[in-house]
Amino acid sequence: MLRTDFSHCLNSLHLSDKPALFFDSGIGGLPYFRYFYERNSCDTIIYIADRGHFPYGSKTRAEIISILIELTNRVLKHVTPRVSVLACNTASVSALGALREAFPSIPWVGTVPAVKPAVLASKTRCVGVLGTDRTIEDPYIMELARQYGPDAKITGLAASDIVHFVEQGGEIAPEAEKERMVFPYIEQLRAAGADALVLGCTHFLLLLDTFRRLAAPDIGIYDSIEGVIRRVEKISKTAETVQKRRRAVLLLTGSAPIEPLWRKRAYAFGLDILLLDSLDSLYFSDKVFK
Ligand code: DGL
């Protein structure tokens, strides 16, 4: 049975819980959420899928900053997070600094593309980075590469078609379809001589097995999930908060009704699901948090 009972969801968001917040434009951050949730059995977590603004990757830095500041302000009306995770490379590359400045009391954790381990491991000195248009065009990737592997050649490829494929349900598509999406990128990088590929967009983690299989044995796959969650855990442990039992809620932005695909995802990842709009209207009518 789907756990979508409204009052249960509202109870799940009690102000005193100081939840860990996870942000993404859609499904991309869910693997990060799951990794954390499985290892931290008594935490309260709110996962925000900014469906109303998907995709971030085709937006400008200024647009992404303004979207995330507004979204954070909305969420802060309901909860005081003990940590806030941008489980999205595009958001991290574009807005992490601005969010830290705008909300200095919240510990923010960003998702930095795993360029460092990839350039350190590469023997051919040729590393591929796959991300959204926004991430690939941002100088941040090249700065990271210069810092950790100045001699490495970076091939950055924007793969917004994979982002859309995943967001529309690609994670549960037949394997042949997943391969059709991923294969051209692997081939291009193989032809360029890459032996390391950085998954620089969290959506790609939903196709991790496909990436690994098609890239083997000559191209290693690198992502940032472990490093990000270790950082989140470090902050979570030091925060002054008493967690009684674990609860996890998925908040969807946008005014459209919750699609069956999102209900399935919430169920698969063990989350209750709720529209942020409905939470806002209840909040403002003063019925919820007395
Ligand atoms: N999941 C986001 C990332 O890691 C991108 C998806 C989008 O374009 O909205 O970059």
Q: Answer yes or no: is the C-beta of 55 below 6 A from any ligand 1 atom.
A: yes
Q: Domain containing 78: what range?
A: 6-111+226-280
Give the residue from 180, 207, 223 where a domain finishes: 223
pLDDT of 6: 46
Mark whether 256 and 176 lie in a shared domain: no
Total structural domains in the chain?
2
166 C-alpha to center of ligand 1: Å? 10
pLDDT of 40: 81
- The three state secondary structure string of the chain is CCCCCHHHHHHCCCHHHCCEEEEECCCCCHHHHHHHHHHCCCCEEEEEECHHHCCCCCCCHHHHHHHHHHHHHHHHCCCCCCEEEECCHHHHHHHHHHHHHHCCCCCEECCCCCHHHHHHHCCCCEEEEEECHHHHHCCHHHHHHHHHCCCCEEEEEECHHHHHHHHCCHHHCCHHHHHHHHHHHHHHHHHCCCCEEEECCHHHHHHHHHHHHHHCCCCEEECCHHHHHHHHHHHHHHCCCCCCCCEEEEEECCCCCCCHHHHHHHHHHCCEEEEHHHHHHHHHCCCCCC
Best mutation site among 90, 140, 166, 223 for ligand 1, i.e. most ligand atoms within 8 A of its Cβ? Answer: 90
Mark whether 124 and 219 lie in a shared domain: yes
Mark whether 198 and 65 lie in a shared domain: no
Which CATH number does the domain housing residue 103 bear? Answer: 3.40.50.1860
Confidence of residue 41 (pLDDT cuts 50, 70, 90): low
201 C-alpha to center of ligand 1: Å? 6
Q: Answer yes or no: is the C-beta of 86 below 6 A from any ligand 1 atom.
A: no
18 C-alpha to center of ligand 1: Å? 26
Q: Answer yes or no: is the C-beta of 94 below 6 A from any ligand 1 atom.
A: no
Predicted confidence (pLDDT) per residue in 83-106, tens digit: 999 999 999 999 999 999 999 999
With respect to residue 257, please indicate whether it lies within any of the assigned structural domains.
yes
Higher pLDDT, 22 or 235: 22
Q: Answer yes or no: is the C-beta of 57 below 6 A from any ligand 1 atom.
A: yes
pTM for this model (two decimals)? 0.91
Predicted confidence (pLDDT) per residue in 156-193, tens digit: 999 999 999 999 999 999 999 999 999 999 999 999 99
Best mutation site among 54, 61, 130, 132 for ligand 1, i.e. most ligand atoms within 8 A of its Cβ? Answer: 132
Average the pLDDT over 33-43 and give the result. 83
In the chain, pLDDT over 70 holds for what percent of residues? Answer: 87
pLDDT(124) > 80: yes
Mark whether 52 and 77 lie in a shared domain: yes
Q: Which residues are catalytic?
A: 88, 201
Average the pLDDT over 270-274 and give the result. 93
Q: What average pLDDT does the chain have? A: 89
With respect to residue 163, please indicate whether it lies within any of the assigned structural domains.
yes
Q: Considering only 6-15, 48-57, 199-208, 265-274, which range has the smallest mean pLDDT?
A: 6-15
With respect to residue 38, please indicate whether it lies within any of the assigned structural domains.
yes
Q: Answer yes or no: is the C-beta of 90 below 6 A from any ligand 1 atom.
A: yes
